[in-house]
Amino acid sequence: MTAVFALPLQALAADEPAATRIVVGYPAGGGADGLARAYAQAMSKSLERPVIVENKPGAGGTMAAVAVKGAPADGSVLLLGNIVVNVLSEFTYNKLPYDPKADFVAVGQAARLEIALAVPPDSAARTVADYLAAAKADPQHAAFFASPAAGSLPHFFGLLLGKAAGVELSHVPYKGGAPMNLDLMAGRVPAAFSAASEFVQLHKAGRVRMLATSGDRRSEQTPDVPTFAEAGFPTVHGSSWLALFAPARTRPETLARLEAAMQAASADPEVRKAIDALGMEYPNMTREQFSKQLPEERQRWGAIVRASGFKAD
């Protein structure tokens, strides 16, 4: 009986790469990089080979996606993707050097990021309704919201809230979360949408005030902050995420091994510690569930992006 099963196992081992690279489309030191490094260290234990992180920033993550698209489909190269690169880009760009649907297959969700609305610490707005009332009463000054980038998920969450409330909100795009937060803390913008992880520590320190988050339940990071549904806007919901993707031609058995390594890593205390430190939420679905969610997100956000008329190029 042993000999019967030995041959397939040996063949699989012989086909496996000597190492795996996780390509991250953002510079070292950021949240995506930190999460990738935590997963890399934990996954190397299950895969029994080195897992290293390669930073390939540029064009909002596009360069990393192109690099992985053409990589060997043997588990040696993975992409740390996100909802912008793997969903929104299909609708925000007229031309892409990759196909988000056809060129990649999901390995698994690495972390979730709720989207939050925050205001300056001295703002009179204590609730989402307060902010919207001010925006409606004084559209030339109060009806603005910032986001870390044009075409980002926070950008479209701001438009989604305006539509749900029947209030025209104007978008102020920034080049990253850091300059946006500086202006928010100083009161130079009346409100901002971003990943909740961008605001958590500032909120706890009283340097900004979070008004709502986009999850189905309150975040463990900020239990004092209601969800948009609790604030009266149930259609303003959803999460951003970070996930691992492989080239589309990757074999099912290779994907299964990578998924198992990811699941083991997501339960690793060091990975959980990193997710907490980054202000993110734990992954909450299997590879199959996440793969089924992707077309649903494309349908939902595609309609929102098209209605906005936004194009990045």
- Domain membership of residue 281 as a residue range: 8-113+241-308
Provide the CA 44 distance to its chain's centre, in angstroms.
23
Strands (DSSP E) found in 135-269: 144-147, 170-173, 192-195, 209-213, 239-247
CA distance readout (Å), 251 to 91, 131, 142, 254: 29, 50, 53, 5
Instruction: Give the model's pLDDT for residue 1.
Output: 33
Judge contact between 24 and 55, C-beta under 8 A: yes
Q: Do 209 and 297 lie in a common domain? A: no
d(CA 170, CA 158): 9
Out of 196, 213, 230, a domain closes at: 213
Instruction: Give the model's pLDDT for residue 4.
Output: 35
Q: Do 93 and 12 lie in a common domain? A: yes
Judge contact between 178 and 99, C-beta under 8 A: no
70 located within any domain:
yes
236 located within any domain:
no
Instruction: Give the model's pLDDT for residue 153.
Output: 97
Judge contact between 120 and 203, C-beta under 8 A: no
Instruction: Give the model's pLDDT for residue 126.
Output: 98
Q: Do 189 and 268 lie in a common domain? A: no
Q: Do 178 and 188 lie in a common domain? A: yes
d(CA 196, CA 228): 13
Amino acid at 138: D
17 located within any domain:
yes
Q: Do 75 and 133 lie in a common domain? A: no
Q: Do 120 and 268 lie in a common domain? A: no
222 located within any domain:
no
Q: Do 89 and 163 lie in a common domain? A: no
The torsion angle over the Cα atoms of residues 85, 87, 93 and 94, rounded to 10 degrees, is: 130
**Binned average pLDDT, 10 residues per bin, the chain of 313 residues:** 37 74 95 97 97 95 96 98 97 95 98 97 98 97 96 97 97 95 98 96 97 94 96 96 98 97 97 94 94 97 95 86
d(CA 30, CA 48): 27
Helix orientation angle between 252-266 and 31-47, rounded to the nearest 10 degrees: 110
Q: Do 108 and 119 lie in a common domain? A: no
Q: Do 42 and 138 lie in a common domain? A: no
Instruction: Give the model's pLDDT for residue 270.
Output: 96
Q: Do 109 and 123 lie in a common domain? A: no
Instruction: Give the model's pLDDT for residue 16.
Output: 87
Instruction: Give the model's pLDDT for residue 12.
Output: 45
Count of structural domains, the chain = 2
Q: Do 154 and 189 lie in a common domain? A: yes
Whole-model pTM?
0.91
85 located within any domain:
yes
227 located within any domain:
no
CATH at residue 132: 3.40.190.10
Q: Do 287 and 303 lie in a common domain? A: yes
155 located within any domain:
yes
228 located within any domain:
no
